[in-house]
Structure 1
């Protein structure tokens, strides 16, 4: 039984959202690797993460959603720009890994 106020989404678009979350995950991994290799510290690394998140979201907005994210993603634009807790933790993990590999000092 569905309520008349509930929005209906085209099911293939909703299923495609899992692929969009994978794109955002890989973007976080790549941004973390770049931040670690460049040796960014403190707020500069998080600024790179925010720029990467906004760039990825804008690509998804214009290419996949064709400028209408509410049609494809439940939650619309706010859900599209939301970096997600998992992606932020992934970024920090990869950032520290690559920073340690490239800029680590021998004991």
Structure 2
């Protein structure tokens, strides 16, 4: 009776799936950095910058959901849909770092 659960766990450990999940994390990281650079260049402050981060996270998650996971994220990602939408601690810190960097570079004399 535990065969479906064991099969699903073995599928997540399968090396091509691990490489695919690593690529998904890279896409989410680059999306967060790009959103931070955009927020900094546009001069967004306070909640507007974080709203851009949330919007970019949702758009990136939707693209991954449709294109890579084909509507079944639990098959490809261990946490399922929640893991796709979860921005992750590293991504939010990368967003803030690039946001402040580009804001400081572009708007230094404002």
What's the TM-score once normalised by structure 2's chain length? Answer: 0.88
Q: In 2, are the aligned partners of 1:25 and 1:87 still within 8 Å (CA)?
A: yes
Structure 2 residue corresponding to 1:98, chosen from 74, 95, 102: 102
What's the TM-score once normalised by structure 1's chain length? Answer: 0.91
Aligned mates of 2:18, 2:86 — CA distance in 1: 17
1:38 aligned partner: 42
In the alignment, does 2:96 pair up with 1:82? no
Residue segments in structure 2 that go unaligned for 5+ positions in a row:
none
Runs of 4+ in 1 over 6 A off after TM superposition: none
The structure with the greater share of residues assigned to helix is 2
Deviation at 1:14, TM superposition (A): 2.9
Q: CA RMSD in A?
A: 1.5
1:71 aligned partner: 75
Residue segments in structure 1 that go unaligned for 5+ positions in a row:
none
Q: How many pairs are equivalent?
A: 104
